[in-house]
């Protein structure tokens, strides 16, 4: 597990300088903050904060007496976040499953785009520990087959007899998200679908393929026959020529119960 988290941190270190350039990343952060609706003078935790896109927007709503704390595995991402954030944002390198905070500290917990990289039940249990009774947990997660580029990569590999797992299937439906909330004793306040389609087609499918090889779902490609892997790569490039990437997500708000 430690090795996997180190790999994830290194991958996002490489992406830190250009992460904010993505309109999809900015859109997803904005949608999450809009649902979270941080109140003035409250304390917010942003898990897997990255470059702080959601943290910065939340900080503007909490005001000068509020605090937004962002945690991430990537030091490079956090350096960008620190450079671009107002004074009421604070950042720390930390594991989402083992936070360096005491209990009952935060009025709101957010996690934008990070849940597919985490053990969701273990992570949310930890977030609930550091949150106050009645606090909200707001997060985005792809629906099953909801990331179009990953789906096309899986189809290209499957045509060559290489099965790639859909890492989003576990939480990819409203029913499964409700089951997750129930298993953790959290209340479901809102779950709805949001969709992003990039107005621009992919500019370099070969580079997208190469980058995706670093993600856990692509692990079977590393051990596959080299010729089959190359045929899958070529098939993917053909399929994605002119493709407009699409993100089909669930945006959810869970709440911690309050004492009777």
Split at pLDDT 50, 70, 90, the class of 16 is: confident
Domain regions of the chain by residue span: 2-255
Dihedral sign for Cα atoms in the order 183, 186, 188, 193: negative
Give the residue, 214 or 152, on which the prediction is more confident. 152
Answer yes or no: pTM beyond 0.85: yes
Of residues 240 and 167, more confidence is placed in 240
Dist CA 203 CA 243 (whole Å): 9
Res 126: pLDDT: 98
| Residue whose pair of structure tokens reads 């900015």 in the numeric block | 26
Q: What percent of the chain has pLDDT over 70?
A: 97
At 44-98, the pLDDT tens digits run: 999 999 999 999 999 999 998 999 999 999 999 999 999 999 999 999 999 999 9
Strands in 67-72's sheet, in edge-to-edge order, are 89-93, 67-72, 43-47, 106-111, 131-147, 246-255, 187-197
Q: So what's the pLDDT on residue 201?
A: 92
Nearest C-alpha neighbor of 25 from the set 5, 55, 54:
54
User: What is the overall mean pLDDT for the chain?
Assistant: 93
Hey, what CATH class is 2-255 in? alpha beta
- Model confidence pLDDT, tens digit, residues 208-244: 999 888 777 898 999 999 999 999 999 999 999 999 9
Segments in 86-191 forming alpha helices (H): 120-130, 148-158, 174-184
Distance CA 212, CA 208 (A): 6
């Amino acid at each position: 597990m430690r090795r996997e988290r180190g790999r994830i941190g290194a991958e996002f270190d490489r992406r830190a300088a250009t992460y904010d350039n993505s309109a999809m990343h900015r859109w997803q952060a904005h949608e999450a903050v809009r649902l979270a609706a941080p109140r003035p003078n409250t304390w917010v935790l942003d898990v897997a904060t990255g470059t702080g896109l959601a943290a910065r927007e939340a900080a503007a709503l909490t005001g000068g007496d509020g605090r937004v704390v962002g945690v991430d595995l990537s030091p490079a991402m956090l350096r960008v976040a620190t450079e671009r954030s107002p004074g009421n944002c604070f950042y720390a390198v930390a594991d989402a499953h083992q936070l360096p905070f005491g209990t009952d500290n935060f009025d709101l917990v957010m996690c934008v785009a990070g849940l597919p990289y985490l053990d969701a039940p273990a992570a949310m249990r930890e977030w609930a520990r550091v949150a106050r009774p009645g606090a909200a947990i707001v997060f985005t997660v792809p629906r099953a087959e909801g990331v179009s580029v990953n789906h096309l990569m899986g189809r290209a590999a499957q045509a060559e007899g290489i099965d790639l797992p859909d890492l989003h299937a576990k939480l990819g439906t409203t029913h499964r998200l409700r089951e997750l909330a129930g298993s953790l004793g959290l209340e479901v306040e809102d779950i709805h679908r949001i969709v992003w389609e990039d107005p621009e087609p992919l500019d370099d499918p070969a580079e997208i393929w190469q980058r995706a090889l670093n993600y856990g779902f692509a692990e079977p490609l590393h051990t596959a026959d080299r010729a089959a892997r190359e045929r899958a790569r070529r098939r993917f490039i053909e399929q994605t020529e002119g493709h407009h990437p699409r993100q089909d997500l669930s945006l959810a708000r869970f709440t911690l119960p309050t004492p009777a």
